Amino acid sequence: MAAALPRSSARLMSERGLAVLVTLLEWLGAAILAVLFLVVMAAVARRYLLGDGLVWSDELAIWLNVALVAVGAPLAATSALAMRLDVVVSLLPAAGRRVAAILAEAIAVHGALVLALGGASVAALVGGTSTVLGLPESLRFATFAVGGGLTLVVVLWRAALTQSWPAALGALVIGAGLYGLANSATGLFIATPSLVAGLAAAAGLLLGAPLPFALLAGVSLSGAFGGLLPEPAIVQNTVAGVSKFLLLAIPFFLLAGELLTAGGLAERLVRFAAALVGHLRAGLAQTALVASVLFSGASGSSVANAAFGAKVMAPALVARGYPPANAAAIVAGVSMLDNIIPPSIAFLILAAATNLSVGSLLVGGFVAGAVLTAALAIGIHLSVRGVVDSAPRASGAERARSFVGALPAIGLGIVVVVGIRFGVVTVTEASALAVAYAFVACLLLRSLNGATVLASLRKAAGEAAAVGLLIGASAPFAFLLAVDRVSEQMAGLVTALGGGPLAVMLLSNLVLLIAGLFLDIGAAILLLAPLLLPAAIAAGLDPIQFGVVLVVNLMIHGLTPPLGILVFVVSGIMRLSPAAVFRAVLPLLASLLVALFVLCLAVAAWPSLPLPYKELFRWL
């Protein structure tokens, strides 16, 4: 018998095996995203060149997006995109952290089993074929069954490597036990099963479980206490949640931002920003702010901007004498603008959850973005002390050259927003055109090659799958909230001080400020917007304005503990303590809260404005 491999060699082979599997999933996601782009672009080209569309393109694109989310589910459970909250767990002693890690993986196992077995069950039950594609309807659910099965493998494999094989086995046993409990007839009945789902999801989040799988596990467990969503219905709601044509814009905007960054156009924006404001006090920090405003028009992703700023702007700030934590805080603070200034992925999620007009939300985003930019500029000016980094004032010729250099990136934002606002293209078409624009612009400038394009596809596909899975996992949770009539209870809460616009506005924002401390930004939009919007409309508030303020409120939580995704992204790249960055960002956070209060007062005052003033502001 051959001698057993040394322990280190066996571990090395296991690590390589997992890395190969993850890489294959990333490449498969990139291939699906590439095909998805080609399908949508073919439909756009036929529509505008030949005057008709492709009958099958919309449905095929939706099916491809479902496949992208399913393929990316294992990555969304185990990578940096997993949306795991580790702040609470990190406070535990070593033994407690080990137990929490096993329980977190057990919850991920439970969620993966829901997708795998629930998806297989629906695939076996659903009959018929798509009238447009001629493909079996069961395929959409079968892809989620496969994705859930792969997630189970990757989660346990990763747990075995990061902890131990006994720990992985323990996670499997506990996860399977939770799954069995969720599908058993306990005889217990709770009047509001969504409360069970919420508590279970919250417990999973605090233990460090990936957020989408904590939501799925929570909804699943509610079934044992009277919940009205059996396992097949959970998967059906999840698939329905991602089967919206509007959501195709998310992977495309992410890909456009990746291409701009990889192609060097984002750095051109930085040079133009430096020419505009580099001579001011705290000139480099103000440059980071203006660059973020400009990059917002091309990316739509605050996380992407934070990652770019941490790699490009933060080292420059540190070299100019900024303490590393302060440099990180500035980059994180200004990055929140990307999901406010159009095009904005947060507004796309809000529109998908509430059916509000995307074009109107984008216009509102410009107004809110201007207010927040002014607040951040003031916050930077007042908070930067002991750093002299102003550059000589750029000449008119230097500004003109930097503007011409930045035009390709600036033009992308203009084309997208103008096209959507004036109804020339749909949001999804605009996002696909944004990818084509970024690709062609970078090719003409010879700043892209095959390797960078493929890397951009892989990264954008993984990010899009993580966002899509969160949207899908939130759908059954939102269904439970609707069945339990939580919106009526929420309406009672936000009208506790009266049903006037100001009272509802202030109480709604208080609810959002508290909830945003514990919910991911995307999940908070998906779960809270449908609950709060009816009360806002009943109070006479403009739904578009309310939606814009809701997104602003929740985006501020990208800078607040314990989740603070923007702080974690920047501190992770810069290898800093998140706690130090959270402290350093407080002045900017204060300026943003003041801006939020100003916006709240403006929106609350809007219903009482005389009609001529309303028409004037609408025209402006």
Q: What is the per-residue pLDDT across 496-511, written as a single tens digit (0 to 9) for each?
A: 766 788 888 888 888 8
Judged against a pLDDT cut of 50, whether residue 620 lies above it is answered with no
pLDDT in tens, 32-67: 999 999 999 998 888 888 777 777 888 999 999 999
pLDDT at 614: 56
Q: Which residues does 315 contact at the CB level (< 8 Å), separation at least 6?
A: none
Mean pLDDT of 360-371: 87
Give the least confident one: 100-104, 385-389, 429-433: 385-389
Mean pLDDT of 7-36: 89
Mean pLDDT of 426-447: 84
Q: The pTM is what?
A: 0.83
- Which of 115, 112, 352, 110 minimizes the C-alpha distance to 239? 115
- Amino acid, single-letter form, for residue 280: L
Judged against a pLDDT cut of 70, whether residue 616 lies above it is answered with no
d(C-alpha 96, C-alpha 111), whole Å? 23
Give the least confident one: 313-317, 488-492, 586-590: 488-492
Mean pLDDT of 82-88: 71
pLDDT at 82: 66
Burial grade of 121 (CB within 10 A; 0-12, 13-18, 19 or more): middle
pLDDT at 1: 43
d(C-alpha 289, C-alpha 378), whole Å? 11
Q: Select the more confidently predicted residue: 146 or 190.
A: 146
DSSP category for residue 5: P
DSSP category for residue 136: B
Residue with tokens 């509802």: 504
- Which of 87, 9, 12, 33 minimizes the C-alpha distance to 568? 87
Q: What percent of the chain has pLDDT over 70?
A: 92
d(C-alpha 293, C-alpha 366), whole Å? 10
Judged against a pLDDT cut of 50, whether residue 475 lies above it is answered with yes
Consecutive H or E run containing 70: helix 57-78
- Amino acid, single-letter form, for residue 98: R
Is the CB of residue 234 less than 8 Å from the CB of residue 145? no
- Which of 37, 107, 142, 112 minimizes the C-alpha distance to 429? 37
pLDDT at 299: 61
Judged against a pLDDT cut of 50, whether residue 2 lies above it is answered with no
pLDDT at 617: 52
Give the least confident one: 120-129, 131-140, 315-324, 363-372: 315-324
Mean pLDDT of 242-253: 85
Looking only at Cα atoms, what is the longest distance across the chain? 91
Coil/strand/helix, residue 40: helix
Mean pLDDT of 510-535: 82
d(C-alpha 534, C-alpha 486), whole Å? 12
Summary mean pLDDT of the chain: 84
pLDDT in tens, 562-588: 677 788 778 877 878 777 888 889 999
d(C-alpha 107, C-alpha 211), whole Å? 10
Mean pLDDT of 278-291: 79
The top-scoring range by mean pLDDT among 191-195, 217-221, 380-384, 439-443 is: 217-221
- The C-alpha torsion from 269 through 271 and 275 to 279, rounded to 10°, is 120
pLDDT at 71: 93
Judged against a pLDDT cut of 80, whether residue 305 lies above it is answered with no
Is the CB of residue 213 less than 8 Å from the CB of residue 107? yes
Written as six digits, the tokens of 603 are 């929106």
Distance set, CA 479 to CA 70, 141, 487, 493, 537 (Å): 21, 19, 11, 20, 21
Mean pLDDT of 186-204: 84
Residue 612 pLDDT level (bands cut at 50, 70, 90): low
Mean pLDDT of 368-391: 83
Judged against a pLDDT cut of 50, whether residue 619 lies above it is answered with no
d(C-alpha 186, C-alpha 31), whole Å? 45
pLDDT at 300: 61
d(C-alpha 419, C-alpha 422), whole Å? 6
